[in-house]
Amino acid sequence: ILVLYMLFIVFNRKKNIIKDTGLLKNLFIPFGLFLVFTSMIFYIYNSYLGCFINFLLKHVGITLSLVFINIYVTLGRELGITNIIINEGEKYDIINTNPLVEEKCNENTESSSQSNTIEIIEAKINFDNEHNRVSRYNNRNCEKLIMEYETNYYKILILYKLMNSLLNPNQNDDQRDNMDSFINKNIIGEKIQLKNVINIIIKNIRNTHSTLLNHIILFPMFIILTIYIIISKFIYYEKTYSLNIVQNESGEWYYKCTLETMDFIYNIFEMMYIIFIIIKGKNIIYNNCIFRCIKNIMHSMIIWIVFGPLINIIGFLFLQNKRYNRILLEIIWNSIGYLIIFILFSMDKIHTITTGRDDSTYYFDFINHKKCLIHNSYICGCPVEKSNKNRKILIEKYILFYKYCSELYTISNGKLKYVSVNKKLNV
């Protein structure tokens, strides 16, 4: 099933949902689970060879999947938008409004008072024509435009991420064409400093970049460490071969692998890693501007910790001398857990592609709200209607922001180039 799914992803790699959520993430998470299922073939072993293959495949597969899941969660946590801004002990409810890029539309909009707004950034750039061009382009063409207007375009995207929940969407045509951003003075006052808000988003982008870079460095080190442990234990095994055949409570003889204790230790660390991911992403399910699959991933983490390392730890502690009972316990519960995890992770891709709904509005959460007419505000907290105005174009622009912030390397003129965090900030 996992192999068929990976072939399905490769075959549909040009679909928007695959490109937007990331081809590598969509391949490496199921590939990690594939390694885990393959390791179960070697659960019953009578030599060190079978033991170390089981150990290596199992823990490399689990760690590989968790690494890319952590990347998913980090992106959702750092780049998604929460429903509350906290500043100096006070909470401000926010509701998403229109961002900086708008399509020309025939709808009549309210006119907003210019005296009630202040400029976020003085965009002294000739971006008028480019604005109209970008609003009419699809994702692919937008990416081409980025190559030409990279600095200014991402400056706009980054500032939109910061202030998207505070921007005034009801600008007249002159204001829209000038691509300037405004905040309502009456709403914000002096409580939220623009500099502080910009520092928040800069910190978020740095955290995202740091997570990506750390995982690229640490995962190869993890593999090297695991191989070193396997080799060192093998040397020990060669010297103590006679001690590796033991008798269980039923009087049966079986091979006891010297990696079993390390397997227990790895299970503890994996459980701690999953708990770390759960704590880090506990509020993601309430976020806006995130991929819906991230919410499924967060639900799967609870299943993972119960059906995965916790079961294995219990088996090691209470069934050490009942080898076959322990094998049966781990294979059954691990298989059920990892199958559920795979279903939760893959179902949105399969459903979106097979039903022909390869549209970002189906797999990306983005909610706009209308203005509260009573308080003339977007953040008063009153229940207001949702707005679908320009929803698709706004989602596409925000996905571009995601994709750029999650890049570490890019190919330019046939050369692989590192994308530094300073280049991402670009402001």
Q: Which is higher by pLDDT, 426 or 36?
A: 36
* pLDDT on residue 338: 95
Q: Is residue 16 a contact partner of residue 139, using CB atoms and an 8 Å limit?
A: yes
Mean pLDDT of 274-284: 89
Residue 248 buriedness (CB in 10 A; 0-12 / 13-18 / 19+): middle
Q: Which is higher by pLDDT, 392 or 275?
A: 275
The crossing angle, in degrees rounded to 10, of helices 139-163 and 391-405 is: 90
What's the pLDDT tens digit per position in 110-137? 333 333 333 333 333 333 343 444 344 4
% of the chain at pLDDT higher than 70: 63
CA-based torsion, 233, 237, 243, 247: positive or negative: positive
* pLDDT on residue 249: 65
Hey, which of 109-113, 139-143, 352-356, 413-417 has the most confident mean pLDDT? 352-356
What's the pLDDT tens digit per position in 198-235? 677 778 888 888 888 898 899 999 999 999 999 988 88
Whether 156 shows a pLDDT value over 60: the answer reads no
Q: Is residue 92 a contact partner of residue 85, using CB atoms and an 8 Å limit?
A: yes
> How many other C-beta atoms are found inside a 10 Å radius of the C-beta of residue 226?
18
Whether 61 shows a pLDDT value over 90: the answer reads yes
Whether 29 shows a pLDDT value over 80: the answer reads yes
- For the chain, what is the total number of helices (H) and then of strands (E)? 16, 12
Average pLDDT over the chain reads 71
Hey, which of 47-51, 94-98, 112-116, 150-154 has the most confident mean pLDDT? 47-51
User: Within the chain, what is the greatest distance between any pair of CA atoms?
Assistant: 88
Closest CA to 55 of 241, 304, 233, 274: 233
CB burial of 350-389 (b: ≥16 within 10 Å; e: otherwise) equals: eebbeeeebebeebbbbebbebbeeeebbbeeeebeebeb
- CA count, 13 A, side-chain hemisphere, 296: 16
Q: Tell me how many degrees the CA angle 55-59-64 measures, rounded to the nearest 5.
A: 150
For residues 382 and 272, give the distance between their C-alpha atoms in angstroms, rounded to a whole number. 40
Least confident of 84-98, 144-158, 355-369: 84-98
Please state whether beta strands 368-369 and 364-365 pair in parallel, antiparallel, or not at all (unpaired): unpaired
Mean pLDDT of 385-408: 75
pLDDT tier, 339 (very low <50, low <70, confident <90, very high otherwise):
very high
Helix (H) or strand (E) holding 50: helix 48-79
3-class SS letters over 132-168: HHHHHCCHHHHHHHHHHHHHHHHHHHHHHHHHCCCEC
pLDDT tier, 394 (very low <50, low <70, confident <90, very high otherwise):
confident
> How many other C-beta atoms are found inside a 10 Å radius of the C-beta of residue 63?
21
Whether 189 shows a pLDDT value over 90: the answer reads no
Whether 53 shows a pLDDT value over 80: the answer reads yes
Q: Rounded to 5, what percent of the chain is helix, strand, coil?
A: 65, 10, 25
Residue linked to tokens 């005034």? 168
What's the pLDDT tens digit per position in 320-330? 778 888 889 99
pLDDT tier, 273 (very low <50, low <70, confident <90, very high otherwise):
very high
Whether 277 shows a pLDDT value over 90: the answer reads yes
Q: What is the CA radius of gyration of the chain?
A: 26
Least confident of 5-14, 152-161, 287-296, 405-414: 152-161
* pLDDT on residue 275: 94
For residues 318 and 226, give the distance between their C-alpha atoms in angstroms, rounded to a whole number. 25
Whether 310 shows a pLDDT value over 80: the answer reads yes
pLDDT tier, 60 (very low <50, low <70, confident <90, very high otherwise):
very high
pLDDT tier, 243 (very low <50, low <70, confident <90, very high otherwise):
low
Question: What CA–CA distances, in Å, run from 345 to 296, 338, 400?
Answer: 6, 10, 22
pLDDT tier, 365 (very low <50, low <70, confident <90, very high otherwise):
confident
* pLDDT on residue 90: 34
Long-range Cβ pairs for the range 128-131 (8 Å, 24+): 128/177, 128/178, 128/179, 131/101, 131/176, 131/177, 131/179
* pLDDT on residue 371: 56
Whether 381 shows a pLDDT value over 60: the answer reads no
SS3 at position 272 = helix
> How many other C-beta atoms are found inside a 10 Å radius of the C-beta of residue 251?
6
Whether 410 shows a pLDDT value over 70: the answer reads yes
* pLDDT on residue 226: 94
